[in-house]
Structure 1
């Protein structure tokens, strides 16, 4: 099995957006049955194929059909196992997952109206169409997580895996770089800071006293691009943090359902928060964010500070990691010694194409050990900060090796080990499940593991 990651609701909605025509053209029939009543329809498989071919038009359609059937059978088996193990997914969790998926596509398409236009359904109808599928996905993911999350891999296993690859089959990797950054946020002008707070006080009064709708006010006023178009809503805010500003979390969990918080200040600006629903240590909330605007003088002050830090680095007063610890105001990269990490491999060594384009454009002008001039950049929070960039290392295009590519090879080896464990689970469990597959799939040899005890 090449890819056993469980298909989630996001793929289902993607298929809805991309494959309406494909589904309409398929005369539906049952392609497979798992357990007593878990049915896989031919239209579902064709929709997945159409979705995949949108991104990889050269893919072998027959091989793809076999692979998708295998993935869907595996998912149904995991759902069956979840029921046997009494794995429960609450309605609140399903609703939160659906809201998150809708919010993702609203962000991608620009508005709820555009999503409804493209899908041909209202938001309510969309969510209801995929509620059962979302629940099944979550059940399957939990069983798969219980099975695979404990799988680890040792350095010896990584070396052994690498040594099984024939020399002439080693992949060729492009140039890779290690880049870091020291970030300084521009100071806020006191008058503009007061203006932002006063503006939010007025908005809060309209909501609390004049009974204006919080969602509508968030749509109209909030400076948070991640939630503005969704009425300021965030689901699954965790009391334990999970990336949320601690001041925001503390204020949110003091609220009763429907209550609106006083003004809360975080590193992002000023907020008011409305509690929608609380579930133990998680909550669904709305918020309105108002940010103080920055002037050119604010950015100039940040540049002056970065120039000073850069001069100290060049003079050898600090090394890069020491300067990050002393000066950098970016919480994310501060935890990694200032290094920018590849989100997939968690390694600081990454392909140039994965870098922020603004950093990628600097590479030809820098040398290993050098520091860029200060620059303004989008900090990913809908705001701008300032930084200097450090080039720690750059590799030439090369064949894979354990020195330069350990993190990548480790991840491949780990996925192979997880895949084997899942195969072993299928071999153990398949005799206990009824699986019936349509004759059209007899040529899919990888499906034999699922039906050999059901013939």
Structure 2
């Protein structure tokens, strides 16, 4: 649809580097030929090619951005160096203005995010040395310093964008006017959508398995009390990938989105105390409270997850196969079975219906679905029930499920009454884009910006050259 700019995503290899509709510089339209002098040329010396406030951009930063996209499997054939510079200029402007507006980003939160990213990278490349080598850094410290700065600038930019667009709201009348101004032959196509329900049966973990984990955690606690390092034990034994590389470290407060059981135990401890093993939906934990700073706690924890036995898995599979047979034999409806027999509390109350996390309604557009769910339901007809699926949930572990497509809406041209929610999203997105554009125009005028060398010949969407 011509009224909404296309989306392009520039992804860092293992962490978020998002372009949305707000990233106006990266667009598919080709630059005029006479302005493409830097599209295929590189400056011989890697120097500063642009300055935005206190931030600088090197020519090599553009090369890195291209390499990072290509390394993550993305295509760069429609992105010019001028467009990439425009994206980097936007990022720096957001980050610069965030500092001017006193937006605070806590270093502890960035470190936590960095550790999670590093854990994932190490998992993919098998060692920290391989990660450092892949990113062409001289040492682990150099790599971590650069990654920290990238993540901090991204967070500042994100918080600044959020501050700009959060106040923007759309009324029903604005939504209607937005739709009316789209010519009929240019109205967007709404892709095929489906509504899905599922029934989940989780294998039961035996009390013996739970007790074995509890005993192991008690033994670790005893060893630490006798002088062993909790940090080392966490690195060796925790099953929490988000904190393994940092020795189980987290800094939390009462607003941190951790499960209630974890926070209740953490806030019951004194400095230097280690908790008894306790259970959450993730498994069993022990917590070592290092420091109390007001309402903030600095702690380390070890997570261990009881293992499911083959017999328990077989029992769960037999149960869900029987549930499916009863539904096919019309002894019970799918919705009734979900409400009374499913182990998934999030969907049980509404008959197993899945909610789209992006839109908060029950419809999923096929082309934008989670790839795993897509592979399970894309070829199913309305009312059809899937085969029994072995699912490995990150939180719940192995479980069996059956799925049913409860409704299938074929591809169609947008209709105001039937597709109001999606049209409202498009109208809001356009209004947000306009708010960003207006903000950018004003801040570019107020901010020190300098572009050097051949990049002065670029044609930008924003007035970076202040002509």
TMscore range, shorter length: 0.7 to 0.9
Q: Is the 8 A contact 1:342 1:350 kept in 2?
A: no
The answer on whether the counterparts of 1:219 and 1:230 sit within 8 Å (CA) in structure 2 is yes
Give 1:425 deviation, angstroms. 0.9
Aligned partner of 1:17 in structure 2 is none
- Structure 2, gaps ≥5 residues long: 18-39
Whole-angstrom distance in 2 between the partners of 1:451 and 1:335: 57
Among 49, 52, 56, the alignment partner of 1:34 is: 52
Secondary structure of residue in 1 paired with 2:167: coil
Taking a change above 3 Å as real, the CA distance of residues 357 and 434 of structure 1, as seen in their structure-2 partners, is closer
SS in structure 2 opposite 1:329?
Answer: coil
Deviation at 1:426, TM superposition (A): 1.7
User: Are residues 1:368 and 2:382 paired?
Assistant: yes
Where does residue 88 of structure 2 map in the other structure? 72
1:203 has 2:220 as partner: yes
Using the TM superposition, name which of 399-408 and 147-156 deviates more: 399-408
In structure 1, the partner of 2:400 is 386
Counterpart-to-counterpart distance in 1, 2:116 and 2:61: 22
Instruction: Pick closer, same or farther for the CA change 1:229–1:91 going to 2, 3 Å.
Output: closer
State the match for 1:299 in structure 2: 313
Deviation for aligned residue 1:67:
2.9
Q: Which moved more, 1:274-283 or 1:195-204?
A: 274-283
1:119-143 superposed Cα distances (whole Å, 9 cap, x missing partner): 3344432222344444333333222
Aligned to 2:121: 105
Q: Would the aligned equivalents of 2:279 and 2:285 in 1 still touch at CA under 8 Å? A: yes
Is 1:429 equivalent to 2:429 in the alignment? no
- Stretch moving more, 429-438 or 263-272: 429-438
Q: Give the conservation status (yes or no) of the 8 Å contact 1:188–1:292.
A: yes
Aligned equivalents of 1:123, 1:374: Cα separation in 2 = 45
With over 3 angstroms needed to count, the CA separation of the structure-2 counterparts of 1:140 and 1:397, relative to structure 1, is closer
Partner of 2:430: 416
Report the counterpart of residue 16 of structure 1 in structure 2.
none
Q: Distance in 2 between matches of 1:83 and 1:108?
A: 34
Report the alpha carbon displacement of residue 150 of structure 1 after superposing the two structures with TM.
2.7
- Give the SS at the match of 2:400: strand
- In 2 relative to 1, CA 301–239 (structure 1 residues): closer, same or farther, beyond 3 Å? farther
Greater share of helix residues, 1 or 2? Answer: 1
Alpha-carbon distance in 1 for matches of 2:301, 2:366 = 37
1:186 aligns with 2:216: no
Q: Which residue of 2 aligns with 1:213?
A: 229
- Following TM superposition, by how much is the alpha carbon of 1:185 offset from its aligned partner in structure 2, in angstroms? 1.8
Alignment of 1:241-390 (within 5 A): 242=257, 244-256=258-270, 258-275=272-289, 283=297, 285-307=299-321, 309-310=323-324, 315=330, 320=335, 323-333=337-347, 338-347=352-361, 348-351=363-366, 354-355=369-370, 357=372, 360-361=375-376, 363-364=378-379, 366-381=380-395, 383-390=397-404
Cα distance in 1, alignment partners of residues 269 and 43 from structure 2: 51
CA distance in 1, matches of 2:253, 2:342: 26
SS in 1 for 2:15: helix
Residue 421 of structure 1: how far off its partner (Å)? 0.5
**CA 191–86 in structure 1, closer or farther in 2 if over 3 Å, else same:** closer
C-alpha change, 1:188 and 1:93, in structure 2 (3 Å) is: closer
Structure 1 residue 255, shift from structure 2 partner: 3.4
In 1, Cα distance between equivalents of 2:132 and 2:171: 48
1:93-242 alignment, distance < 5 Å: 93-119=109-135, 120-170=137-187, 175-209=192-226, 211-224=227-240, 226-227=241-242, 229-230=244-245, 233=248, 235=250, 237=252, 239-240=254-255, 242=257
Which range moved further: 414-423 or 436-445?
Answer: 436-445
Classify 1:408/1:282 alpha carbon distance in 2 versus 1 (closer, same or farther; 3 Å).
farther
CA RMSD of aligned residues (A): 3.9
**Aligned partners of 1:382 and 1:362: how far apart in 2?**
21
The 2-side partners of 1:6 and 1:140 are apart by 15
Query: 1:206 and 1:70 mapped to 2: Cα distance?
Result: 55
Counting matched residue pairs gives 436
Aligned residue in 2 for 1:10: 15
Contact conserved, 2:11 with 2:74, CA < 8 A, in 1? no
Partner of 2:34: none
| TM-score under structure 1 length normalisation | 0.79
In 1, the alpha carbon distance for the partners of 2:394 and 2:340 equals 22
Distance 2:52 2:64 in 1: 20
